[in-house]
Homo-oligomer: A and B are copies of this chain.
Amino acid sequence: MTTFRIQTSARNQFVEITDQVRDAITASGISSGLCVVYCPHTTAAITVNENADPDVVHDMLLYLNKTIPQNQTGFRHAEENSDSHIKASLVGPSVTLIVEDGEIVLGRWQGVYFCEFDGPRTRKVMVQVVG
């Protein structure tokens, strides 16, 4: 298992981590199998989406922030970050990727993102590869 840290700079932010995931696969020495990218935090998530036009991430965050506002009638959690927990479970705590020929199988426009929903914070990401 490989662990790496990232520093986020906003309350809601997508940070691309494709290169760090590639490095973890190379370090594992496994050429064919599966790779799990895991977020050990309850107010952040992992996803795969377009990494060509940054406007895609802009629009995804705009939608999430508009439809899951921070303060909602009836919310009880005293930390006032229930929106962050909701986003975390909807986007999901991990992605499972395919490894072939020592590389992650990604589509032409795909990158792997760490999704910060309660930053800025220092965060950890774990990567496990099995063959």
Contact = CB atoms under 8 A, between A and B. Distances in A.
Interface of A: 1, 32-34, 36, 38-42, 47-50, 53, 55-56, 58-60, 62-64, 66-68, 72, 74-79, 82, 85-86, 88-100, 105-110, 124, 126, 128, 130-131
A67 B39 CA distance: 26
Given A33-B130, A105-B1, A74 B62 contact: yes
A126 to B, nearest CB: 6
Contacts of A63: 68, 72, 82, 86
Given A34-B34, A76-B55, A78-B55, A50 B60 contact: no
Chain copies in complex:
3
Contacts of A42: 48-50, 56, 107, 109-110
Given A50-B42, A59-B75, A96 B94 contact: yes
A108 B43 CA distance: 12
A33 B130 CA distance: 6
Contacts of A55: 76-78, 82
